[in-house]
Amino acid sequence: MTKRPVMPQGDANEQAIYWLTLLASGEADDERHRTFEHWLAEDKTHQSAWARVLRHWRDIEGLSEQDFPTDASNRRRPLLHSKLFNAMACLACFILAVFLLHHGLNRHLADFRTDIGENKTLILADGSEVQLNSGTALSVGYSPTTRKLILYGGEAWFKVAPNPRPFEVLTTYGTVRSLGTAFNVKTLPDAVAVTVLEHTVRITLANGERVDRLPEGASIRFGQTVNDINPRADIDAASAWRQQHMVFRNKPLEEAIEELNRYRKGLIVITDHSLNALSLTGTFDTTNPEKALQMIKTRLDLSEYRLTNRLVFLYRN
């Protein structure tokens, strides 16, 4: 018998998505249904999250309450119930949409975009070079006096051409201003990471806080405030994506999976918070995220449970 992972320990919305996919898969036994009913009854935030997820899913396929039963009398309803089966085909897209919305990727606003797994190089009007990583969205706004770019989400490397006009990259949490440089900007769920490869940059946070000079070889992570400045950044690891690699050196599993999710359609979820701090070292190919996932599982002795290939739960026996 396949052992199922425990429910994700994330917020109510993440747990509601877990229950939706499990119940819709037809693989939930009586014990799982009872566990779901207990989860639903124990907290009003669970009820709100469940109602919200169901509402979005029903909107996709026009499902009614009767099409997704959870009471005991209907637990054995066959998986191939016509409407439910048709809706399952949309489930992976729904999960991916929730993931992208959570990460604030406003792709519809961008001038340039890359799909999951795609890497693109741009030469801008002033001769500056920009390389976009997987799942990245960027807009460019040049004027006679300024060069402003907006990084909505994802990751980009900038090689700035000399020009009297200032060159700035705007992000959710602040602005990176080039002082004659090459640098990397990476958006994270609640922060931005900047690594300087040549010369220096100036960082101005949305709250007005400023780092006047971040020198070559240094990195910074900032959100609502400056979280960390590393004067000796791992330049090779920060730049590895440009050669289609992920390099982890004693990287917590949580951060490694967050990175892997950039290159894989769908979502990988760690079901137990105690696994987040597991240390991972290695080099992985971003063009084959499935192979990378299997290597990570082997090295850390993890198991997986899949609800469609788009949603993978990692756990330990």
Kindly report the number of other CB atoms within 10 A of residue 250's CB atom.
7
pLDDT score of 269: 87
Cut 0.75: pTM above it: no
257-273 average pLDDT score: 90
CATH 3.55.50.30 in the chain: give the residue spans. Answer: 244-315
203-207 average pLDDT score: 94
pLDDT score of 16: 80
Highest mean pLDDT among 5-14, 249-258, 262-271: 249-258
C-beta of residue 266 within 8 angstroms of C-beta of residue 92? yes
Residue 215 in tokens: 């020198």
CATH says 244-315 is which class?
A: alpha beta
In the structure, what pLDDT confidence band is assigned to residue 160 with cuts at 50, 70 and 90?
very high
For the cut 80, the answer to whether the pLDDT of residue 185 exceeds it is yes
pLDDT score of 305: 84
CATH says 107-235 is which class?
A: mainly beta
pLDDT score of 81: 42
Q: How far apart are CA 241 and CA 237, in angstroms?
A: 8
CATH 2.60.120.1440 in the chain: give the residue spans. Answer: 107-235
pLDDT score of 243: 95
pLDDT score of 76: 42
pLDDT score of 72: 40
197-226 average pLDDT score: 95
Q: What tens digit of pLDDT does each residue of 63-108 get?
A: 455 545 444 444 444 333 444 444 444 444 444 444 444 444 456 6
For the cut 70, the answer to whether the pLDDT of residue 130 exceeds it is yes
In the structure, what pLDDT confidence band is assigned to residue 187 with cuts at 50, 70 and 90?
very high
Range in 122-131, 192-201, 267-276 with the lowest mean pLDDT: 267-276
Share of the chain above pLDDT 70, in %: 77
11-15 average pLDDT score: 74
Kindly report the number of other CB atoms within 10 A of residue 129's CB atom.
14
